[in-house]
Amino acid sequence: MKPPLLIISPFFPPKRGGLADHTERLAQAMSAGNEVTVLTSAGGADGSGYRLQASIRDWGDGGALLAAIEQASPRGPILWQYVPHMYGRGGANLQLPGVMAELARRGRRQLLIAHEIAARYSPWPQRFYFAWAQRRQWRTIVPSMDFVGISTEAWLEPWCAWWPEARAKFVLLPSPSSVPLAAMPENHRGQWRERHGLSADTRIIAYFGSTGAGKQFPWVMEAWRRAAAGPDKVALAVMGGESKMNAGERSAGLLQLGYLPPEEVSATLQAADILALPFDDGVSERRTSAMAGLQHGCAVVTTVGANTGPTFRRAEFIRATDAADPEEFNTAVVNVLADEALRVRLGSAGRVAYERDYSWPVVAGRLESALAKMR
């Protein structure tokens, strides 16, 4: 019989977004060696290979949360998906640290995957308070954990600095792609272009994710306009987010694809020439859209910033520019789009790096190693 593992996450499909998708893929990956139960918010959709208990209506009710945990899985380790705003308004939940401490007191072993930890401090009083409260919450929940996976290399040392004696329980745990790699025919690139009304020689810039301020989507639009102003035909395929466009841009090759099923996302990435992702805080191991590009062998043009660790800063499997320099990013997009040999090299190196360091087998292996020490 497989040992039990309870995964806790307020976000789960059919809710959209990277965290919901990550939890579903995490449950699938961990089901190979464990009897997995997922405890999530009311309304979650069932999956295969694991059991789902979608019953939590108020994550601020500590007593009800403890009771639900005991009902879902009365024994075995507990794996928390953690982003502050998943659990409370402004990212602060006064009950959560107490629930975790009580579980530790009862002898339950706990693991936590931190996808975000705390917002940046702001001069706005309310935002300043939330940033402070999130840091306080972090300091109170970590002592209850036996394992802490940090999704971003740049955060690893700063956020475990309060516990130098327990440094060993902090491990880099990337967020792999949430898009399964779909099998495509040999002439897929041409077929995809024809299906979308594009000529076979059109070059494709892909964008994947929301178009919020942190993703600097206007940079992508400007890079596409510059590339399209040259002699080559260039289209921009936007997956996921909602962008503003006019009819002229739409007819000129801006494809608003919206939210797509995973196989269509995979098909688009395999048809694209580059994936443009200018994050305002820089690319990092938690950016699942960048991971999807690497996984699919698509040349990734991105940025380095405050959240970019040393590995991505020196990486030769991406083309990265300064997160504060739109001109440098635009030039990089145009140059990479025009250089087929460079695109092939980046795509091939990115796929190798992904499978070696960032894929689901890598992440599941690190978690299984931690679980083996707890049992």
Q: Say if CB 90 and CB 133 are below 8 A apart.
A: yes
Q: Say if CB 176 and CB 285 are below 8 A apart.
A: no
Same domain (yes/no): 155, 269: no
Among the residue ranges 79-93, 282-296, 304-318, the one predicted with the least confidence is: 79-93
Give CA–CA dist 306/3, Å, rounded: 40
Same domain (yes/no): 350, 366: no
Same domain (yes/no): 158, 197: no
Check residue 95 and report its DSSP letter: S
* Burial environment of residue 70 by CB neighbours within 10 A (0 to 12, 13 to 18, 19 or more): middle
Residue 122's CB is within 10 A of a number of other CB atoms, namely 12
Residue 146: both structure tokens together: 């036996």
Residue 242: pLDDT band with limits 50, 70, 90: low
Percent of the chain topping pLDDT 70: 97
> How do residues 100-144 score in pLDDT, each as one tens digit?
999 999 999 999 999 999 988 888 888 898 899 999 999 999 999
Same domain (yes/no): 134, 224: no
**Domains of the chain: total:** 2
- pTM passes above 0.85: yes
Give the 3-state secondary structure of residue 242: coil
Q: List the domain range (segments joined by +) for residue 333.
A: 188-357
Residue 245: pLDDT band with limits 50, 70, 90: low
The residue written with tokens 């991971």 in the block is: 291
Same domain (yes/no): 162, 34: yes
> How do residues 330-344 score in pLDDT, each as one tens digit?
999 999 999 999 999
Same domain (yes/no): 228, 369: no
CATH number at residue 113: 3.40.50.2000
Question: What is the DSSP secondary-structure string of 193-234?
Answer: HHHTT--TT-EEEEEEE--SGGGTHHHHHHHHHHHHTSSS-E
Whether 140 maps to a domain, the answer reads yes
- Considering 10-24, 122-136, 228-242, 346-360, the range whose residues carry the highest mean pLDDT is 346-360
Whether 249 maps to a domain, the answer reads yes
The residue written with tokens 């449950």 in the block is: 27
Pairing verdict, β 51-56 and 35-41: parallel
> How do residues 14-32 score in pLDDT, each as one tens digit?
988 889 999 999 999 999 9
Q: What pLDDT was estimated at residue 162? A: 92
Q: What is the mean pLDDT of the chain?
A: 93
Q: What pLDDT was estimated at residue 49? A: 87
Q: What pLDDT was estimated at residue 188? A: 97
Q: Which of 206, 213, 197, 203 is nearest to 240 (CA)?
A: 206
More confident residue, 106 or 85: 106
Whether 181 maps to a domain, the answer reads no
Same domain (yes/no): 351, 366: no
Whether 229 maps to a domain, the answer reads yes
Residue 243 has pLDDT above 70, yes or no: no
Q: What pLDDT was estimated at residue 244? A: 57
Residue 114: both structure tokens together: 């931190």
Give CA–CA dist 205/235, Å, rounded: 6
Same domain (yes/no): 263, 238: yes
Q: What pLDDT was estimated at residue 249? A: 53
Same domain (yes/no): 225, 296: yes
